Structure 1
Amino acid sequence: MKVGLIGFGKTGKAVASVILQNTEFSLEWVLRKSTKLESRSVSEFLGTESEDPGHIFSLQNITISELLDQHPVDFIIDFSSDLGLYIYGQEAKERGIKIISAISHYQEKEMVFLKSLSEQTTVFWSPNITLGVNFLMFASKFLKKIAPFVDIAIIEEHFKTKEDVSGTAVKIADYLEINNDDISSIRAGGIVGKHEVIFGFPYQTVRLVHESISREAFGNGAIFIAQNLTDKEPGFYKFEDILLPNFFS
């Protein structure tokens, strides 16, 4: 399956590295705003051995229509920004290219546009595309459904310079319908990212923990989603739609 990647920041580079190492998918190109690295290959830049073309293109010198004419793909994976959707969305819709968006937050206007694309092609969106975090969220919601009376607290731990409360922790709280006041934050050197959901039962506790080790986890998540979207009909999908059949199959 051929893949095009939008965005080549720190996370985009990690995602590209994972795709290059997966023989089931071929990274055809990366599209970015900057002309830096243009015409180089991703594998050469990252120092990864791969037969994937992985050419780097700049929006300043090629349109998305020209790019897709010259280098067609089955999937577009987006790790750019909330406005990146306007670069490729309409073309992907018209060509039936599956979309995997890992943008952490969309405004209402962008979300409406994203969902409109699903009328003609397969669209997936997750604000955190790591498999582990989404498994934690799904399992947490399942446990709360079994025991709606349980006390729930969230602890998020990150590197010292992270100022705001973790967006993922806030999303977990929203998902479980609890207040953000139930989130506790820890900041210390050496921590990449850790989320813990504590369920307080009478005389016992259950703790679900997810800890990030590197950004490659986002690449693994994107690959997992692509594998599960290959036979999906046009429509709008979330992580829950992908995980649910595996829980009860």
Structure 2
Amino acid sequence: MKVGLMGFGKTGRSVASVILAAKDCSLEWIYRRGSALDHRSASEFLGIESADRATILSPSSIDVDTLLEQHPVDIIIDFSSSEGIWTYGDQAAERGITIVSAISHYNSEEIGFLRKLALLTTVFWSPNITLGVNYLLFSARLLQKIAPEVDIEIVEEHFSNKQGVSGTAVKIANALELEHEKINSIRAGGIVGKHEVIFGFPFQTVRLVHESISREAFGNGALFAARHLSGKPAGFYKFEDLLAPYFAQQIA
């Protein structure tokens, strides 16, 4: 599976390291806004031994159309910014390239654009692409169905410079049909990301907690999505679409 990566910030670099280590994937290129690292090898830059091409490129050195023509990929994994989809979306969809977006915040126009692209190709979006937090979301919805009157609070913790409410926390609140006032945000130090759903029963408390120890967790989640999207028809997919078949299986 040939992969192209959009974005090479702190998280993008961690994701690149995971892709470079995957035996069933080949990181063909990384596309980033800045040109300072143009034509360098990501594996060399990150100090990882890999046979992958993994060339770092930017709009200053090559435009998206030429990039996709000269260096074709099966899938694009996006860890850039909410505006990034406009730079490559049409070109990728026209070529039938699968899009996996891990952008935390999209506005309604950007989500509409993703759905438009999904008419032509396979499009996946998850505000938090870690497997664990999406398992937490499934479990929370199941417990709420069992006890619909239970009190629920959401706590999200992130690094001190993170702006706005966690997109994942908003997604959890929406899935549980909770007001966003039920989200409690904490910003401190270098916390990568922690989400907790607290169920307050009269005589007991249930806490579902997920914590990202390292940004590499996002890379593992992105590859989980990429592998499970293989062979899927064009359409708009979310993490629950990939997990639902597992939850439907009977436990022996």
d(CA) in 2 for partners of 1:181 and 1:111? 23
d(CA) in 2 for partners of 1:60 and 1:163? 29
C-alpha change, 1:165 and 1:34, in structure 2 (3 Å) is: closer
d(CA) in 2 for partners of 1:166 and 1:123? 22
Q: Equivalent residue of 2:120, what SS?
A: coil
C-alpha change, 1:188 and 1:56, in structure 2 (3 Å) is: closer
2:192 match: 192
Q: Equivalent residue of 2:128, what SS?
A: coil
What is the correspondence of 1:207-226 to structure 2 with a 5 Å cutoff?
Answer: 207-226=207-226
Q: Equivalent residue of 2:44, what SS?
A: helix
What is the correspondence of 1:35-50 to structure 2 with a 5 Å cutoff?
Answer: 35-50=35-50
d(CA) in 2 for partners of 1:126 and 1:159? 20
Given that residues 38 and 61 in structure 2 are in contact (C-alpha distance below 8 angstroms), is that contact kept between their aligned partners in structure 1? no
Deviation for aligned residue 1:201: 2.1
The answer to which of 98-107 and 183-192 deviates more is 183-192
Q: Equivalent residue of 1:210, what SS?
A: strand
2:128 match: 128
d(CA) in 1 for partners of 2:187 and 2:145? 31
Structure 2 stretches lacking a partner, 5+ long: none
Q: How many residues align?
A: 249
C-alpha change, 1:14 and 1:171, in structure 2 (3 Å) is: same
2:108 match: 108
Matched, 1:81 2:81: yes
C-alpha change, 1:110 and 1:189, in structure 2 (3 Å) is: closer
The percent identity for this pair of structures is: 65
2:61 match: 61
1:118 match: 118
d(CA) in 2 for partners of 1:158 and 1:120? 36
Deviation for aligned residue 1:54: 0.2
Given that residues 155 and 196 in structure 2 are in contact (C-alpha distance below 8 angstroms), is that contact kept between their aligned partners in structure 1? yes
Q: What amino acid is the match of 1:240?
A: E
Q: What amino acid is the match of 2:225?
A: I
d(CA) in 2 for partners of 1:161 and 1:91? 33
Cα offsets for 1:25-53 (capped at 9, x unmatched): 10000011211110101000000111111
Deviation for aligned residue 1:193: 2.5
What is the correspondence of 1:169-180 to structure 2 with a 5 Å cutoff?
Answer: 169-180=169-180
Q: What amino acid is the match of 1:168?
A: T
Cα offsets for 1:188-212 (capped at 9, x unmatched): 4464332111112232221100011
Cα offsets for 1:77-101 (capped at 9, x unmatched): 1111112112111111111110001
Matched, 1:231 2:231: yes
Given that residues 3 and 73 in structure 2 are in contact (C-alpha distance below 8 angstroms), is that contact kept between their aligned partners in structure 1? yes
C-alpha change, 1:165 and 1:93, in structure 2 (3 Å) is: closer
Cα offsets for 1:194-248 (capped at 9, x unmatched): 2111112232221100011111111011000001000211111001111111111
Deviation for aligned residue 1:57: 0.9
d(CA) in 2 for partners of 1:100 and 1:169? 20
2:52 match: 52
Question: What TM-score does the superposition give when structure 1 sets the normalisation length?
Answer: 0.94
Deviation for aligned residue 1:164: 4.6
1:11 match: 11
C-alpha change, 1:212 and 1:42, in structure 2 (3 Å) is: same
1:156 match: 156
The answer to which of 46-55 and 130-139 deviates more is 130-139
2:22 match: 22
Q: Cα RMSD over matched residues?
A: 1.6
Structure 1 stretches lacking a partner, 5+ long: none
Q: Equivalent residue of 2:31, what SS?
A: strand
Q: What amino acid is the match of 2:17?
A: S
Question: What TM-score does the superposition give when structure 2 sets the normalisation length?
Answer: 0.93
